[in-house]
Amino acid sequence: MPHLRIATVNVNGIRAAARNGMSSWLDAADVDILTLQEVRGQDEHLEAALPGWSIVHDEATAKGRAGVAIASRTPTLATRTAFGPEDFDSKGRWIEADFLIGDRPLTVVSAYVHSGEADTPKQDEKWKFLDAFGTRLAELGTDGALALVTGDLNVGHRELDIKNWRGNRKKAGFLPRERAYFDRFLGEPGAEITAVDGTIGTGLGWIDVGRKFHGEIDGPYTWWSMRGQAFDNDSGWRIDYHLATPALAERVETYHVARAAAYDQRWSDHAPVVVDYRY
């Protein structure tokens, strides 16, 4: 059965990632569609790092910050970057591309959610983004559509998703209100959902591919701090996701976090998340 291999990774700067080993990993990975976050560069830097790929890119307003891209082995049919209210600056944080897979259209998103900081204006921007995220998920997930949102979503949804969850309950990335968004995103479609923070909302029915594939286990984590022994101790966070519509989730064959074999072999502080989908 043919499959489509889609990988997502926060590269922590495309130029540094290319220098430090991304290209050799990609040569061996046999990826069809690659979504990138924190590009922190211009079109020419992506083209130099990914020769021969078809690339769409949304650069952040602030130079050297954020940036999202989608690279593929085939050209995209259409691309969109409009996201959220008009007064909200989402540049460099959301890009969609449409592909034709067999005879079905597939929408792939590369998203980079704000890291945030509890009780600061940075967190206010994150709330705005998560609000717009939910609105767009509801639009993309209708009528049996094949759609996939990938990226560094900067929220650990459950205690299984962070090694040191007890120590992070009041910190951005694991705040109850942040996690509540994911309760709704992933809740039964149309059902009344009581979220972890006690709020009540409506489930959107999206599928967390990593959690569905691995079940009730710790991790597997996708990000580790560059400080201390976090990587060696596997004291990480699972904040890089494939969120799929039910129709696409049914096509999942394999899910894999491409964790480096050793600290000095890392080319980003995130590991790629690689999923094969049947078509």
pLDDT at 102 over 90: no
Q: Which candidate, 254, 178, 241, 175, places its Cα nearest to that of 213?
A: 254
CA of 158: how far to CAs of 181, 196, 236, 248, in Å? 12, 9, 13, 23
pLDDT above 70 covers a percentage of the chain that reads: 100
Percentages (nearest 5) of helix, strand, coil residues in the chain: 25, 30, 45
| Residue 74: φ, ψ to 5° | -130, 155
Spell out the domains of the chain, with CATH numbers in brackets: 3-278 (3.60.10.10)
pLDDT for 178 beyond 80: yes
pLDDT tier at 1, thresholds 50, 70, 90: low
Tens of pLDDT, residue by residue over 231-245, are 999 999 999 999 999
**pTM for the model:** 0.97
What confidence tens digit (pLDDT) does each residue in 67-91 have? 999 999 988 999 999 999 988 889 9
Q: How far apart are CA 231 and CA 92, in angstroms?
A: 28
Q: Which of 105, 206, 204, 213 is nearest to 149 (CA)?
A: 206
Structure tokens given for 72: 């593929």
| Residue 41 in this model has a pLDDT that exceeds 70 | yes
Quick one: CA dihedral 204, 253, 250, 211, positive or negative?
negative
